Structure 1
């Protein structure tokens, strides 16, 4: 699995590094010839030879090479930060609502799960592993050119059960190594209430149904759509909010999602070195329930903070910056 952007960045940094090295060599030759000029200033022949040598060397230091070499320290710094420390991402979809909204710009801590080769993504130094509840960015297993962001639900060896009617998870930790494990992980669901998010459905010219999310200022606004339900899910000593389109326990609307009707209660056994992930917008997330597990080698890093949110309605201008979105990711 090769990261094309990282490969290009490494190549550009390497080229600028070569020009930087040439510049340093030119500087050394220049300083050397200046010393020779002083020492042999009484000998015109030797001085002329020294001058010609310098002229030949300085010819390699054109304005173009000077500019390229000046970029090397900046490119090297960007390469180090982006490859091993932090990398920025923009949230393009609503699958992680309400934790992350469309237009959020986040920082991902890369070294928390290991130091990796920036091109091949092979782990060079192991520094840790994802934990349940972590929000991670990873290469989509079915198309590694795409970056996905989801919440870790199941660690390697876990048995994960999801009930679409109650909207609740049941997790048996390390089910593979603890065959007689009886007690599931304590998971609680509180504060079930209507959210400020409404899902609107529209049909395009071909009759395909698309959906969009609208955030209202109050729960009383009536719009032509379905108001999502917000619930506080708690496990691993941390809390986060999730959204569901169908209220927990309501079977009247269950047929909206045909893909779920065959398995109202599904379970998965997470393989070793892989993870089970889900979006916080549980009824509007393409995640491990549909395409499988995330290999550890695909994981880019842990999302830690929202540093900017730029909101732009389709067909409108200008954009607006939502300062209240800036902060730590839960």
Structure 2
């Protein structure tokens, strides 16, 4: 056991070094991998504590108590009735969990619960940009349901249950195809096989124009300006979207993404046929969103889950609640 403090210090230093390098941008971090490794390592310490280290400390404390009892009996045989023998403090010291177990085995239950919740049930995200205004605002802290579309194994992202099919109008979090280490959030517009047309700022799916209704202009307090606001119905639930006056529907700066041969760009906008197993996504802030119009389709294996609830916005508590 004498080598365990040094070994634990090395393990903890490795975790701190990895997180520090990730934070400074020296490496591209993987939070799911860090959580998996942290849960596994602390779990090993937790099992060792239950089966090895704690029984060792209990035996040492029991031996100390037996020695104290033997010493007391010896003194009584010598006719010494009063003596100053108090082993409680020593026993407490022997039973106390050392720092290297407190920072490993002691953290395992919390890490295990967080790992299970985050990997298979719900994961929190913070909205970093305005691409989903007015549905989601910058600073919204949201929850993502990770089992709606099927449970996936952490890190390798392999689907182990089917779940529900992705539906038009769903707000999804996914791994950004050009850089999978980043998570993006957009609304599903086109399903596999759909013909999606976004021409002159009007959306058509399979030749049918998506119903929209004009709403009063939306005032963005961050941009300090008004935007045209509409209600659109892609699925059973309507949602709001924004258009910026004076910006044309022309898509400028689209990248050379996989499946671009399924898209046709013009001065009016873009028309795409969604490949099998992929999705066409767009932001609700239509003129201020880098989405499938620019970087292509979202493969099914990139899905993280369905966003459904704002659990906190420290600047506006009225934001808390579900959304469509």
Normalised by the length of structure 2, the TM-score is: 0.72
Which string of whole-angstrom CA distances, capped at 9 and with x for unpartnered residues, describes residues 49-87 of structure 1? Answer: xxxxxx9xx899633214421111110000000111111
CA contact (8 A) 1:3 1:120 kept: no
Q: Which residue of 1 aligns with 2:202?
A: 168
Query: Mapping of 1:36-185 within 5 angstroms?
Result: 62-163=98-199, 165=200, 167-172=201-206, 184-185=207-208
Range that drifts further, 12-21 or 72-81: 12-21
Indicate the structure with greater helix content.
2
Query: Mapping of 1:1-330 within 5 angstroms?
Result: 4-25=30-51, 26-28=53-55, 62-163=98-199, 165=200, 167-172=201-206, 184-185=207-208, 187-197=210-220, 213-214=223-224, 227-246=226-245, 254=248, 262-310=266-314, 321-330=315-324
Structure 2 residue ranges without an equivalent (≥5): 1-27, 71-90, 255-264
The structure number with the bigger radius of gyration is 2
Structure 1 residue ranges without an equivalent (≥5): 44-54, 173-183, 199-211, 215-224, 247-251, 311-320
Q: How far did residue 13 of structure 1 move?
A: 1.1
Which string of whole-angstrom CA distances, capped at 9 and with x for unpartnered residues, describes residues 104-151 of structure 1? Answer: 110111111111111111112221232100000111000011111000
Equivalent pairs counted in the alignment come to 265
CA contact (8 A) 1:136 1:151 kept: yes
Normalised by the length of structure 1, the TM-score is: 0.71
Instruction: Say which SS state the counterpart of residue 105 (structure 2) adopts.
Output: helix
Return the alpha-carbon distance in structure 2 between the equivalents of residues 37 and 60 of structure 1. Answer: 14
Return the alpha-carbon distance in structure 2 between the equivalents of residues 185 and 126 of structure 1. Answer: 30
CA RMSD of aligned residues (A): 3.2
CA contact (8 A) 1:186 1:235 kept: no
Higher relative contact order (CA 8 A, sep 6+): 1
CA contact (8 A) 2:61 2:95 kept: no
Indicate the structure with greater strand content.
1
